Amino acid sequence: MKKAFNIVIAEDHTILREGLKSLLSSQPDLKIAGEAGDALAAIRCVRDHRPDLILLDLSMPSMTGLDAIKEIRRVSEDTKIIVLTVHSTEEYILATLQAGADGYVLKDAHSTELMTAIRHVLDGRRYLSPSISGTIIDGLLQGKKASAIKSAWETLTPREREILKLIAEGHKNKDIADLLCISLKTVEKHRANLMDKLDLHNVAALTALAAEKGLITK
C-alpha cells in the first residue's frame, strides 16, 4: 500500500483554501491533516499534527510569512514547506528560500504544476516555479559579469557538480557523504571549493544556479 502523506493547508482566503483541499483530496495518498487561516494557526497546526508538508501562503494575518517559515522549522524540522505566493521578485524568493522553504510556487500556476511541486518536495527535492530561477540568476548577475559565472561553472569538476545538485535538492552534508560513500570532510571540502569558484555563498543562490543549469527540476 502506498504511504499516505499528511498535509496542512495555510491560506487566509477561504475560496482558495477550499480549492486546494479539493485538489489534494483527489489524490488517494494525500491526506488533509489540518487547515489554517492565519500564520499563528498554521504554526499551531504544524506543532499539533507534525505533517509531512505544509502549503503556506506567504502573506497571511498575524505574522510575516518569513517568520512563520522559521517558526515552522523550529517546531517541526522534518515538515516540508511549499510557499504559495503572488510575489516573484528576487528579494522575496531569496529570503523565502533562506528562511527554510523547500518549494516556491506562484499562485498563477496551473494545478498540475502545484502537484508536481508537491511530489518533488515530498520526494526530498526542492521545487521552484519555472520563471523563478531566472529571476534569481538575473539578480545574482547584477554587479557580476555573466561570462564570469559561465567561466566559473566550466571549472567545476564532475564531483563538485554532483554535490551542487544534492545541495540544491536539500540534502545535508552528512546525507551527501552517505549517498556518495565519501567522508564528511571530503564533502565539506568540495562544498567550500565550489562555493568559492562560483562566488555564491548561500543555499538559495546555489539552488537557483542548479535549477538554471538543469541539475534540478524548476
Q: Which residue spans within 112-173 are E strands per DSSP?
A: 127-128
What backbone torsions phi and psi does residue 45 show, to the nearest 5 degrees? -65, -45
pLDDT value at position 213?
A: 81
Q: What are the extents of the domains in the chain? A: 5-129, 143-212
Output the CATH code of domain 143-212.
1.10.10.10
Q: How confident is the model at residue 2 (pLDDT cuts 50, 70, 90)?
A: low
pLDDT averaged over every residue in the chain: 86
CA distance 43 to 71: 7
> Could you read off the pLDDT of 139-185 as tens digits, one per residue?
655 545 556 667 788 899 999 999 999 998 888 899 999 999 999 99
pTM for the full predicted model? 0.70
pLDDT value at position 136?
A: 63
Does the structural domain 5-129 have CATH classification 3.40.50.2300? yes
**Angle made by CA atoms 177, 128, 207, in degrees to the nearest 5:** 35
Sole residue written with cell 511549499: 82
Q: What percent of the chain has pLDDT over 90?
A: 51
Q: How confident is the model at residue 134 (pLDDT cuts 50, 70, 90)?
A: low
Is residue 137 pLDDT above 80, yes or no?
A: no
Q: Report CA-CA distances (Å) from 50 to 78, 162, 199, 201, 210.
A: 8, 31, 37, 31, 30
